Every structure is written in structure tokens, then in C-alpha cells.
């Protein structure tokens, strides 16, 4: 791998989805320059950034001379196909399906509901006060994590990590949710299997280095 990164990552220190990509890049030892887009000042809505991603969302991964890749799961799948070691998906088809399903339970069914743009809608157009907004976030966090716990706890495929003893995209997604919940002090449910797996992930250097509080611009 060259010292001069071929990848640039548009991201935000407090973004769950950026964290996922950061973890994968470090796990795979891929050098990257991260370019902060300040979601706190709506920098994602500037014409410059909209030309990178018309959806006005981070992360966006740029490989020299190529169009951006957006959406964290699409980026994780791309990195895993392009740089297969260490793998972030199992080899067997049913294992891959299980891991992708666990990842989607977080990345599709939980995270989008508590993203900043959604909370902003609720506190402005939706007239939610601060308590109602926190209730909303806790509700979807608890729903997602309780479902994860139920799926992980009783399944012999669960190991040290969500699927056996290797880190997969399911662990990356699960940890992204818990890291943000802790950071912003959102209530999370009693979920011993989830908590055990996340604690194990956080012992790994890639997860530690990707943590929001170590990124440029972090205010917590």
C-alpha cells in the first residue's frame, strides 16, 4: 500500500455511517485522507458537497479519478470485494446472508430513524420538544438492540463476535450504534450479548482508532 492515500473519505466525526467505513479501512490497512463535512453547520447542503453526493449525506468514498461511492454498506461491500483480507463477510452463502441481515437490522431499520436530519424534522416541523425527541431516539434504539439481542443470544452461529470468531460487517454496524448511543448518552436496553460483542470489538485497535471522539472536529 502506498503512503500517499488513493482514497479520500468525506465524513463527519459524529456520524455512525462514517465510523463504519473508518473501521473497515483501518482493519484492511487502507490509507485514507478524511475530509470533514460539518453536519452541525449543514455543510452537507453546500453545492460543493452536493456535487459529491446529491443525497447530502456522509460518508462518500473517493478513489483517485473515480466517481464517489456513497452509502456505508455499499462501501463496506466494495472494500471487501476489492481488498478481501481480512474478510468482513463469511465465505458460506447462508453465513453471508445472516451477517448481511444483522447489519441491515442496524443500518436500515434502526440508524436512519435516529439520524440528525430526522431528529431535526421532528423538533421543527414535528413540534417535538427535547424530551419527545429523546423518547423517539430511545424507542428506536431499544427496538433495534432488543431485536439484535434476541437474534444473537439464541443462535449457535454467534461467537466471540456476531458471527463466529471473526469481525464482520454485522459487528461494525452494531458497534457503530452503541458507540453513538454512549456518546450522546441515549438510554439503551439490557442486552448482554450485544454488550459483550461490542466490548470485545472496542478492544480492537481499528474500532478504538475510528472512535468519534478521536476525530477532527469532535466536540464531545
Closest to a second copy by CB, 140 or 218: 140
Q: Please give the Cα distance from 137 to 143 (Å, whole number).
A: 10
Closest contact distance (angstroms) between CB of 214 and a second copy is: 26
What is the separation of C-alpha 200 from the centre of its chain, rounded to a whole number of angstroms? 17
In the numeric block, the cell 431535526 is attached to: 120
All cell numbers assigned to 190: 439490557
* Whether 110 contacts 170, CB under 8 Å: no
Closest contact distance (angstroms) between CB of 203 and a second copy is 27
For a second copy, the closer CB: 123 or 195: 123
Q: Radius of gyration (Cα) for the chain, nearest Å?
A: 17
Distance, CA of 43 to CA of 49 (rounded, Å): 7
How many Å is the maximal CA-CA distance in the chain? 51
Q: How far is the CB of 161 from a second copy (least distance, A)?
A: 17
Min dist. Cβ of residue 122 to a second copy (A): 8
The binding site for a second copy (CB under 8 A) comprises 50, 54-57, 66-67, 69-71, 73-75, 77-78, 81-82, 93-94, 96-98, 100-101, 103-105, 107-109, 111-113, 118, 121-122, 125-126, 128, 132, 135-136, 139, 147, 150-151, 155
- Residue closest to 34 by CA, chosen among 4, 8, 15, 67: 8
28 or 151: CB nearest a second copy: 151
Choice between 150 and 199, CB closer to a second copy: 150
- C-alpha cell read off for 132: 419527545
CB of 205 to a second copy, least distance (A): 26
Give whichever of 1 and 74 is closer to a second copy, judged by the CB atom: 74
Cα 64 from chain centre: 23
Amino acid at each position: 500500500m502506498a503512503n500517499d492515500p488513493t482514497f479520500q473519505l468525506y465524513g463527519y466525526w459524529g456520524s455512525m455511517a462514517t465510523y463504519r467505513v473508518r473501521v473497515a479501512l483501518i482493519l484492511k490497512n487502507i490509507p485514507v485522507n478524511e475530509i470533514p463535512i460539518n453536519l452541525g453547520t449543514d455543510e452537507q447542503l453546500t453545492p460543493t458537497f452536493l456535487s459529491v453526493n446529491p443525497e447530502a449525506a456522509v460518508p462518500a468514498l473517493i478513489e483517485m479519478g473515480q466517481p464517489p461511492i456513497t452509502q456505508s454498506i455499499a462501501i463496506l461491500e466494495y472494500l471487501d470485494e476489492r481488498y478481501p483480507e481480512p474478510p468482513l463477510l463469511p465465505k458460506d452463502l447462508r453465513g453471508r446472508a445472516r451477517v448481511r441481515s444483522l447489519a441491515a437490522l442496524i443500518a436500515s431499520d434502526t440508524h436512519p430513524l435516529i439520524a440528525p436530519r430526522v431528529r431535526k424534522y421532528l423538533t421543527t416541523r414535528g413540534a417535538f420538544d427535547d424530551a419527545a425527541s429523546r423518547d423517539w431516539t430511545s424507542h428506536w434504539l431499544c427496538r433495534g438492540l432488543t431485536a439484535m439481542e434476541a437474534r444473537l443470544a439464541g443462535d449457535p452461529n454467534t461467537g466471540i463476535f456476531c458471527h463466529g470468531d471473526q469481525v464482520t460487517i454485522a459487528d461494525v454496524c452494531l458497534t457503530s450504534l452503541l458507540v453513538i448511543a454512549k456518546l450522546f448518552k441515549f438510554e439503551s436496553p439490557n442486552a448482554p450479548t450485544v454488550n459483550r460483542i461490542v466490548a470485545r470489538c472496542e478492544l480492537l485497535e481499528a474500532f478504538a482508532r475510528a472512535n468519534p471522539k478521536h476525530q477532527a472536529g469532535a466536540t464531545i
